[in-house]
């Protein structure tokens, strides 16, 4: 299982050029070694296609053999690597944050140093390129073997599934069909293509919510273009908070694994910590970029993060929205309940998140200011920015790695306290 995830993001043809992608591929290939395989896949966007081709040629120039999955979701790419004896996978997709950006994600058993100079092998040692397709059935069969399919089939769930023009969605609909679910799929709308919305947009979510309610479906689902993020909607059309979904999955995992470890990022709600503690488990809060590594290192039974990213180590250590959908149906079937009832058993506290512009050179000063303000004994965690746990509240300040801004998360069991903390935090950062 891959322990390390490295994310390279930038503007296509400006920061992430074909030359850059080719050099990156060669650097990765130099680390992996000649004659060894690496699995590569992408989403359906044209920019992803172009960058993948350049990156592939760079890998081959280093003597690395490339196993090309074509268009495939991240969890499917990650799961299939073992069948091709690969220790590293590379996924290229349109960024969730900015339409002009492309994301290159490296999943590997080791952190790959990317500061070295690319070195090409002689012409007669160039790596091989192989296109494969059997990985699709491998992934589907694995989920069907792992999940409680009989219990799900007995319930005969009706599910609304957002379906863009991406070819990744057949994985989800195919699996749902095989486990006895009736699926109503919503296609793209208003002439939009899959590339127009790499992440679940409010428009798409609203449409799924309305249809779920109108046809009396048990659940609505919206996936992103990578299939590593999922939005769950109950039969009443309510969007279930991501922290609430984390709580549902964590509680279920600890029932089967008493005393187990749960991993989430520093963004984790107080509610999640209470659920894990009450269920006899331990919550490990880590940096946003280190969730997968901590799951591996701590032999965790479940892990996850915002926005809508869930990891089930019994299947694979990767954010896997497709498996998360099946797992949620399994819980509903075994508990003979509804998603709204499950969500109702998880406390939801007042919570806000926002960004504030902040020059890169000022970010350390912001963190130091909060360190000084709360150094009087309050619970401080600096694993990723600074999180200050107060009585029935917390403040989290996370500097963005890529953009001149800081991300702020504040949660409180009191609505008035949340407003007070929000105003104070904004003033402190703006003064810096």
CATH topology of domain 350-431: TATA-Binding Protein (3.30.310)
For 399, residues 6+ apart whose C-beta sits below 8 A from its C-beta are: 358, 363, 366, 367, 385, 406, 407
Q: Is the pLDDT reported for residue 195 higher than 70?
A: no
Pairs from 279-287 (Cβ < 8 Å, separation ≥ 24) = 279/250, 279/251, 279/254, 279/255, 280/254, 281/250, 281/254, 281/257, 283/250, 285/381, 285/383, 285/387, 286/383, 286/384, 287/383, 287/384
Give yes or no for a contact between 262 and 303, defined as CB atoms under 8 angstroms apart. yes
Domain boundaries, the chain: 4-133, 139-225, 242-344, 350-431
Core vs surface per residue 177-186: b (16+ CB within 10 A) or e: ebbbbebeeb
Supply the pLDDT for residue 401.
Answer: 80
**CB 14: neighbour CB atoms within 10 A?**
10
Count how many Cα atoms sit within 13 Å of the Cα of residue 374 in the half-sphere of its side chain. 23
Q: Decide which of 164 and 342 is more confident.
A: 342
Q: Is 18:98 a contact under the CB 8 Å cutoff?
A: no
- 79 forms beta bridges with none
Q: What is the CATH number of domain 242-344?
A: 3.40.120.10
Contact 388, 285 (CB under 8 A): no
Confidence of residue 180 (pLDDT cuts 50, 70, 90): very high
Between 191-195, 206-210, 275-279, 295-299, the lowest mean confidence (pLDDT) is in 191-195
Nearest CA among 182, 181, 208 for reference residue 197: 208
Q: What is d(CA 66, CA 64) in angstroms, rounded to the nearest whole number?
A: 6
What pLDDT, in 10s, does the model give residues 229-254?
Answer: 999 999 999 999 999 999 999 999 99
- Look at the alpha carbons of 399, 356, 102, 107 in this order and tell me if their dihedral is positive or negative: positive
Write down the pLDDT at residue 106.
95
Mean pLDDT calculated for residue range 161-179: 76
Q: b or e along 135-163 (b: 16 or more beta carbons within 10 Å of the residue's beta carbon)? A: bbeebbebbeebbbbebbeebebbbbbbb
């399994």: which residue's tokens?
Answer: 330
pLDDT at 378: 58
pLDDT in tens, 60-110: 999 999 999 999 999 999 999 999 999 999 999 998 878 899 999 999 988
- The Cα 219–Cα 233 span in angstroms is 6
Task: State the pLDDT at residue 5.
Answer: 85
Q: Which CATH class is domain 139-225?
A: alpha beta
| CATH architecture for residues 4-133 | 3-Layer(aba) Sandwich (3.40)
User: What pLDDT is attached to residue 163?
Assistant: 67
User: Is residue 375's pLDDT more than 70?
Assistant: no
Q: Which two tokens stand for residue 116?
A: 């070295």
**pLDDT-above-90 percentage for the chain:** 76
Q: Do domains 4-133 and 139-225 have the same CATH topology?
A: yes
- In this structure, the strands spanning 129-131 and 65-71 are parallel
């Amino acid at each position: 299982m891959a322990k390390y995830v490295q994310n390279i993001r930038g503007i296509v043809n400006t920061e992430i050029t074909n030359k850059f992608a080719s050099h990156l591929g060669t650097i990765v290939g130099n680390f992996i070694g000649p004659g060894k395989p690496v699995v590569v896949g992408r989403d359906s966007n044209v920019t992803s296609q172009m960058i993948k081709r350049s990156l592939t040629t760079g890998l081959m120039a280093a003597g690395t053999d490339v196993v090309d999955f074509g268009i495939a979701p991240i969890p499917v790419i990650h799961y299939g690597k073992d069948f091709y004896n690969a220790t590293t996978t590379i996924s290229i997709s349109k960024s969730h944050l900015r339409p002009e950006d492309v994301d290159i994600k490296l999943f590997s058993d080791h952190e790959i140093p990317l500061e070295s100079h690319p070195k090409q092998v002689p012409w007669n040692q160039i790596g091989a390129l192989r296109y494969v397709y059997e990985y699709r059935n491998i992934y589907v069969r694995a989920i069907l073997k792992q999940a409680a399919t009989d219990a799900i089939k007995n319930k005969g769930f009706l599910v609304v599934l957002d379906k863009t023009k991406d070819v990744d969605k057949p994985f989800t609909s195919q699996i749902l069909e095989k486990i006895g679910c009736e699926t109503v799929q919503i296609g793209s709308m208003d002439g939009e293509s899959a590339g127009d919305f790499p992440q679940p947009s409010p428009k798409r979510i609203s449409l799924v919510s309305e249809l779920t309610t109108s046809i009396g479906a048990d659940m609505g689902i919206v996936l992103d273009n990578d299939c590593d993020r999922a939005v769950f909607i109950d039969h009443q059309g309510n969007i279930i908070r991501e922290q609430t979904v984390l709580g549902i999955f964590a509680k279920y995992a600890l029932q089967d694994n008493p005393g187990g470890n749960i991993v989430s990022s520093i963004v984790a709600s107080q509610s999640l910590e209470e659920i894990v503690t009450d269920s006899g488990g331990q919550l490990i809060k880590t940096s946003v970029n280190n969730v997968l590594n901590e799951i591996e290192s701590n032999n965790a039974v479940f892990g996850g993060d915002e926005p809508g990213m869930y990891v089930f180590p019994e299947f694979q250590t990767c954010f896997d929205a497709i498996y998360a959908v099946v797992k949620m149906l399994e819980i509903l079937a075994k508990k003979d309940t509804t998603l709204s009832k499950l969500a109702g058993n998880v406390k939801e506290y007042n919570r806000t998140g926002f960004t504030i512009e902040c020059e890169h050179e000022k970010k350390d000063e912001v963190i130091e200011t909060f360190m000084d303000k709360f150094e009087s004994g309050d619970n401080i965690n600096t694993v990723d920015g600074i999180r200050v746990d107060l009585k029935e509240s917390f403040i989290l300040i996370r500097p963005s790695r890529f953009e001149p801004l800081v991300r702020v998360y504040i949660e409180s069991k009191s609505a008035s306290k949340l407003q007070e903390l929000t105003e104070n935090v904004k003033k402190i950062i703006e003064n810096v």
